[in-house]
Amino acid sequence: MQQRYVPLWVFFCCCVWKAAGFSGALGYRPDSDSTRLCQAKEVSDTSRRKAISSCLPLLLPPTLTLAAPDLDETTTVPLEYIPSLSAYVAHFTLFGERFGAIVDTGSPFLTVPSTCNKWAYKYIWGCYHPERTRDSGYANTVEAFDNNYGTVVWRKAEFSWEPQETAQDVVFGVLGPDIMDGPGGVFLGLIKQTDSWIRPSFLGQTNYQSFCVDLRSNNNPKLVLSKQPMIAEGDDYVPLVRDLNRRYKAPVVHYTAKACRFEANGLPLYLSEKQPTYVIFDTGVTGMVVSQELYDGRYLQARKNREKSLWGQVTVGFKTKEGQEVHLSATKPVTTPLGNATPWPRFKGNLIVLGLAFLDGRAMTIDIDEGKLQFVD
């Protein structure tokens, strides 16, 4: 499979890479009832094509202020799998126009394309109308997508999951043609917490505290967003760490856990306790990305053992809060080395990014503020 790369901004100040590849996965099932992780109000897919109704302004006494409209406490959004993208797309409305974006747990922003002169733009991404948006107050930035550099314009418009719902103003990025002509796409970023100098994240503006990306085969794929924790008190979970942001100054707080196991074709690769192996969970990646040191070590191991496949079966393990070991596995994920460039200054350790090859077929629930991660098959 030819590799696909998407935004480069997160790892290098304002640049994050994406890599391609997909396959099935195996995983962890807690003893508690998993259905509560993804219960919410269903959003009608057909209703999104309607226009947002306008409202007359309210007249308030001088001592009162009008609070910004808030999205629902819990919302379920159907996801559409697009084979040509090897990605799951969520649909929503901006200024009454239907848009689509790749559900991406590895980036923070809501983005749309600046044009709609192609079939994919109109029917997948949507059509941008600048005259129906407003100034966000944020200056334009230059972003890089797989070495395609271009301007991103930051605008503001009314957002809702379906047109008849109460809309909320959000700041979003408009991607220019120089970026969209590359192999990437547009994204619904689900990273909430960022440094103050970063443009506003989508979840930071909408105040969601947790989400569940449910890609289980027995359910219709969906994204569940909640303003309350979704992992029940007393349930076991994988602790998330913030080392990449606090210690190594990554500009956003990635959904990251420390790996206790990394195996390829049943053979373990050495993981040093002095230099932790950090794993980022990223639905915008369809394969796996690994540090150059891990990649080179695996190559030497496979060559020594005369293995036919470098990444035939890959398993990554994590310790839960109660000491249990959780395994995520994938068969023949397309794997890309990070290269010799260090993601952040003074970074020590190894880095693995797990994409849909490991996440497809399960529900991944993240309580952002609590730093909890849970998987359900």
Q: DSSP string covering 293-323, please?
A: HHHHHHHHHHHHHT-S-SSSEEEEEEE-TTS
Q: Which of 44-58, 130-144, 223-237 has the highest mean pLDDT?
A: 223-237
Residue 211 and residue 271 in one domain: no
Residue 115 and residue 245 in one domain: no
Residue 280 and residue 317 in one domain: yes
Residue 332 and residue 247 in one domain: yes
36 falls within a domain: no
Residue 91 and residue 211 in one domain: yes
pLDDT at 298: 95
Name the DSSP letter for residue 37: G
Last residue of a domain, one of 164, 198, 226: 226
Asked whether the predicted pLDDT for residue 243 surpasses 60, the reply is yes
Last residue of a domain, one of 191, 226, 261: 226
163 falls within a domain: yes
Residue 218 and residue 244 in one domain: no
Residue 92 and residue 204 in one domain: yes
233 falls within a domain: no
101 falls within a domain: yes
Quick: pLDDT tens for 96-148. 999 999 999 999 999 999 887 665 566 788 889 999 999 999 999 987 765 67
pLDDT at 39: 46
Last residue of a domain, one of 181, 205, 226: 226
Range of the domain at 334: 238-376
pLDDT at 346: 82
Average pLDDT, the chain: 81
User: What residue type is assigned to position 316 of the chain?
Assistant: V
Alpha-carbon separation of residue 120 from 8, 39, 146, 283 (angstroms): 22, 31, 20, 21
143 falls within a domain: yes
Alpha-carbon separation of residue 331 from 36, 213, 374 (angstroms): 29, 21, 21
Query: What is the tally of structural domains in the chain?
Result: 2
Q: What is the CATH number of the domain that holds 198?
A: 2.40.70.10
Quick: pLDDT tens for 260-316. 999 999 999 988 878 899 999 999 999 999 999 999 999 999 999 999 999 999 999
Asked whether the predicted pLDDT for residue 2 surpasses 60, the reply is no
Confidence of residue 85 (pLDDT cuts 50, 70, 90): confident
Asked whether the predicted pLDDT for residue 24 surpasses 90, the reply is no
